[in-house]
Structure 1
């Protein structure tokens, strides 16, 4: 019996709108019960991957950096933006420069975005706010001068925002570094790499195919996904047109730059670099 016939791969994927081109294509094309899809928010998938409860999946870039000794990055796959991303915002009542010692609320759903906003506030702006983490589904306490929201929460908040300032974090990063920003990676546990190479290569090929077909069929994807926010199909198309899913040379350089900041800040170990890329598609 071949390894691919006796092993079930547990694959984590976030069901946010920004993953829809890959996610929707995966759901409509995977016809084997050997590939089990596990859907959860980013922070939950991070924990599941670290605990060995899933074998691979789209997790935050920060999660790879924190536990790089356990993982490899699947080549050619990311959730990233080369400029405005449209779904990772710091909503603020005052300019960023006035947030020193001010109360700021973070979404608990993405450690990568939390790390990014801290770099922007502390390293780029030179301010040190007072951070709290909470659930953005509940009414937001008026004491907070600014709120970090990501994913579908950010899209919904942007639709009804009363904040004077809306800072797109990927856009600020681009202006400061000249690079794209990589929010999430498709990461696989090392033991699955070595133990199930044939199945991994097959899954990798299919994910790349979903990536390419999802971008090609973006209008069809938007017709399926826009209603979950809800937002118009036109706005959905504009938003998803700005999301990128590759991991080319510039994206890898951007990831290394982000990790350099995190290493200098003491947030992750220097062993996160160099990046460990899995690219065996044979």
Structure 2
């Protein structure tokens, strides 16, 4: 489970349930969960969409679950000192917390804005972080929420909004991927977990005010701002979102960043 508040509408409900003892949850940043899944240390999880695209022969996608947005996502930003059109050959620091967001920002800058910045991966906010010579930073999750509150960058580019404006599609930042060997050995268990996650998602949508009150202090942000943010996060995987995933994966394939086997999508019902 991703350890950001963007999964709180699912995870807070999950934590209230009495679940089988062997349904053990590991929390982590998306990039960390990608590694754990690739190394067979977890069986399924909310991982970067790119993690599936990079190794499609290893996984399937659990139906009707994602971390996505139709328009502004509110927690995946390019924070810049200058306009994006002026970032050609400028240095951008990329968070190492999400493989998907790194690929997305490169697509947006290189394919949509037609600029070719220089990139480095590192820490983008916090005490003691040095950003000498850095024109922009890619931040996600709770880091992005904190930088928005601080307001220290004049240009704040919401990557979900730019993608939607350009393609007309939602963007799926994370899917719930499951290892093929686990599906082969435990298909009914996988179905039961998927069904429980969907039920938690549905219940969380009905208790959003309570959830915001629980998690807003982690940033910190006020409950009204937290509610506005979480209302923009979506956790389904509708047909149009599958189309959006296909568009993103086609970009990755065309850029040599994912194998052709990333398409068609493999969805586990």
TM bracket, shorter-chain basis: over 0.9
In structure 2, distance between residues paired with 1:73 and 1:140: 38
Deviations 1:177-224 (A, max 9, x none): 000000000010001111001211111110110111111111111111
1:48 paired to 2:58 = no
1:140-219 map, 5 Å = 140-219=130-209
1:229 paired to 2:219 = yes
Question: Per-residue deviation at 1:51?
Answer: 0.5
Structure 1, gaps ≥5 residues long = 1-12
1:8 aligned residue: none
Relative to the length of structure 2, the TM-score reads 0.98
In structure 2, distance between residues paired with 1:158 and 1:88: 10
1:239 aligned residue: 229
Question: Per-residue deviation at 1:93?
Answer: 0.5
In structure 2, distance between residues paired with 1:26 and 1:222: 15
Q: 1:98 to 1:30 in 2, by over 3 A?
A: farther
Secondary structure of the 1:37 match is coil
Aligned length: 267
In structure 1, distance between residues paired with 2:18 and 2:83: 47
Question: Per-residue deviation at 1:248?
Answer: 0.5
Deviates more, 1:136-145 or 1:92-101: 136-145
Give every structure 1 segment of 4 or more consecutive aligned residues whose post-TM-superposition deviation is greater than 3 Å.
none
In structure 2, distance between residues paired with 1:82 and 1:36: 31
In structure 2, distance between residues paired with 1:140 and 1:126: 28
Structure 2, gaps ≥5 residues long = none
Instruction: Determine if contact 1:15/1:23 at 8 Å carries over to the other structure.
Output: no
- CA RMSD between the two structures: 0.8
1:10 aligned residue: none
Instruction: Determine if contact 1:55/1:188 at 8 Å carries over to the other structure.
Output: yes
Deviates more, 1:140-149 or 1:93-102: 140-149
Question: Per-residue deviation at 1:142?
Answer: 3.0
In structure 2, distance between residues paired with 1:231 and 1:200: 36
